[in-house]
Structure 1
Amino acid sequence: MSDSLNKTVTFQPHQTKQTSPSPATLSTTGRLMSYNDQLKAGLQNGIGFTRLLDQLISTTSTQELFQAVADLTAYHLDTAYIVFPQQYSRSDFYLIFLNRLLDLHQLSGVVLQSSDQYHELYHEYPGINAAGYFVFKFPENDPSGAYYIEKNSQLELFYLDFTKHLLRFNSHTLTQLLLVDYYPKLDHQNIKKFATILLAIGNYLKRDFGFDVDFGLLDPINSCVYQISEPDLPTTIIDQLFVIAAKGGKMLEAGADQSAVLKLDNDVTVTIFREADPQQAHFGEWLLKVWDPQQTISWFDVLLHYQFLRDWYLNNLPSLEIKADLQYFS
């Protein structure tokens, strides 16, 4: 088709004439320009993503690290004109964040691995990697929260919410995984190292970003009071402890206000008591405390170390189990 057929000719006075693009040409040109602009915008969007990913994997600032994971989890990489077929998931970003957070605090022991079979990242821990590995899963009815789970068993070890600055450990699943499932088949020092890393994650989130953290049975602070599942504890369960403590070479002593005090090695004591102060939130309930001069020993550590206490606790788990936050764990 000749060029003359694509032009509109307008005759003007004095025999002058002007040409202008036809409507068809304007429409085609406009579409081409729009397409090109959309491609540029999509590419710029991808470049913006790479900058955030660079920040996540290389920053030395904890605040920049937190901002990067927050931005990446909300980032929409694909556009109407450019689709990236291979992308990291929200779980992947969370796992990278935890690895980097531990790295910035110079704490090793978590290995970030990639699964070609499932196209996902995952955490594994030396010494327990033969038993399981860990990823995040996301509840459908909770857009901002995530559960750190052991993939094979699907046990939820903790709940994490970056938006609410919230971390909740699940004492029930920690007991099941570490003291029931892993204890008979894994080196106990490796179980302890794993629990230490979980505790460190909670401490770093609390100190660096002001998270509200419930450590559950991992909490080693002397002021921690562990709530048990049955606040009106049958006295027969305490009577059992008197007997098995003696068999374990320890003495359970009667203390004030119906309390029972168990003295362990290195000046560590375990106290089971009924709250007698009416001004306290758990007045009248049976509670448990661990006291340690260094504030490094938790109820979990005690259970891991002392066979007779672990047996007593697991045999009476419906009554003695340390409570988890029911808002996040059923």
Structure 2
Amino acid sequence: MSNNRIVTSPSERVQALSDSFKDVLSLGQRYVDLLDQLAQTKDAKNLLSATNKLAKLDLANAFIDFPPHYKAADYYLIFMDRLLKMHGDTAVNVAENELNHEFEATVAAIGSEAVFKFEVDSRGEAAFTEQSQHESLFYLSLEDKLMQFNNRALVNYFIVYALKQHTDLELRDAVKPLIDFAKYLQKDLDFTIDLGILATANDRRFMLNKPELPLTVIDRLFVATADEDYMLMNLPRNNGAELLLDQGTKLDIAFDPDDYSQEWAFLVKDSDEQVSFFDVLLHYDLVREWYLANRSALAVRTDHMEIVDEEPPATTEVAEDESLDEASSAEPSEDPAPDEEE
């Protein structure tokens, strides 16, 4: 016989309502304490703890409707805003939308027309998503301390779309606070971060989504440089080519001849290690036009830092370039090869 007994008598129902009020009052006090911690703490670890707990807090009650409250996506955005402000970074503005009472962010360098929100999935992974084009620029898991940029979305939004409305310098300034946010996560909270094509280290290889590259694609770059001031040269070991840009910046499209896989990749080299592959696409028309025209072959891969389930469902093998597609929207119509890049 089941131990569960239906509450039917008046006294039992009154007691159940009383117990429910007690639960709600206790939960409400916990909620208020966490809100205060989120809003007031000056310690990054306490900020992270409060955000994690708020995002998981279940305020549902069978008897009592809890007062209006924010959602997990709002707490993520408040967390981002507070961590930036702790470092004196005011380039991102977070405010509550008076119509739907959700928090949204804008970036000073590109104005208020570009609106960003976090979109949180069932596993607690949040995607920082631009709302008009619905491109998820980076993914964040507070519980697993992971943060990763989405190469495909960075190209789709900034290089394909936003560059039509803004200058390259404005877009560089728009990306900077996002990079800084990642570095604060790493420095203050020991996050594992992946800047993707925003990384500037000279030894960072930006692997292509497809391991093999038709040499005709490089030939097209040779043709494109014929009437330009930039020089394209074959590498000494016949493993690719190097484009000499201005100010000592070099762009290689090559494979490692000592690696049996011989997977193709981009490398960006400059004396101060301040230039990323994203910067090259943003500032150099020649490279950008060649890249976008041949994006099906040149798309840069994102090896998504998955949060692995203990018992993953049995599925058929999925192509490597679909690992981020489900979190991103459909590509803009200008994208020459939307399905090849992550």
Residues 101 and 247 (structure 1), Cα distance of their counterparts in 2 relative to 1, 3 Å cut = farther
2:4 maps to what in 1?
none
How much has 1:229 moved relative to structure 2?
A: 2.4
- Superposed CA deviations along residues 277-325 of structure 1, whole A, max 9, x for unmatched, are 137xxx3111110112222210001111111111111111111111123
From 258, 282, 292, the counterpart of 1:304: 282
Is 2:254 aligned against 1:264?
A: no
How much has 1:269 moved relative to structure 2?
A: 1.4
Give the % identical residues: 31
Number of residue pairs the alignment of both structures matches: 299
Is 2:82 aligned against 1:100?
A: yes
2:133 maps to what in 1?
153
How much has 1:129 moved relative to structure 2?
A: 3.5
Is 2:291 aligned against 1:313?
A: yes
Question: Over aligned residues, Cα RMSD in angstroms?
Answer: 2.2
Q: Which has the larger radius of gyration?
A: 1
Asked whether the equivalents of residues 39 and 82 of structure 1 are also in contact (C-alpha less than 8 Å), the reply is yes
Is 2:141 aligned against 1:166?
A: no
From 216, 219, 222, the counterpart of 1:236: 216
Partners in 2 of 1:221 and 1:148 — Cα distance?
Answer: 24
2:6 maps to what in 1?
none
After alignment, is 247-256 or 178-187 more displaced?
247-256
Is 2:44 aligned against 1:59?
A: no
SS in 2 for 1:87: coil
2:256 maps to what in 1?
275
Partners in 2 of 1:59 and 1:65 — Cα distance?
Answer: 6
Which structure 1 residue ranges, 5 or more long, are not aligned?
1-26
SS in 2 for 1:293: coil
Partners in 2 of 1:131 and 1:36 — Cα distance?
Answer: 49
> Quick one: which amino acid aligns to residue 71 of structure 1?
K
> Quick one: which amino acid aligns to residue 311 of structure 1?
E
Q: TM-score, normalised by structure 1?
A: 0.83
Partners in 1 of 2:162 and 2:12 — Cα distance?
Answer: 65
> Quick one: which amino acid aligns to residue 322 of structure 1?
V
How much has 1:107 moved relative to structure 2?
A: 1.6
> Quick one: which amino acid aligns to residue 265 of structure 1?
D
Partners in 1 of 2:152 and 2:247 — Cα distance?
Answer: 27
How much has 1:118 moved relative to structure 2?
A: 2.6
Asked whether the equivalents of residues 42 and 78 of structure 1 are also in contact (C-alpha less than 8 Å), the reply is no
Residues 146 and 105 (structure 1), Cα distance of their counterparts in 2 relative to 1, 3 Å cut = same
Q: TM-score, normalised by structure 2?
A: 0.80
Residues 278 and 127 (structure 1), Cα distance of their counterparts in 2 relative to 1, 3 Å cut = closer
Asked whether the equivalents of residues 91 and 109 of structure 2 are also in contact (C-alpha less than 8 Å), the reply is no
SS in 2 for 1:116: coil
Partners in 1 of 2:286 and 2:105 — Cα distance?
Answer: 32
Which structure 2 residue ranges, 5 or more long, are not aligned?
1-8, 304-319, 326-342
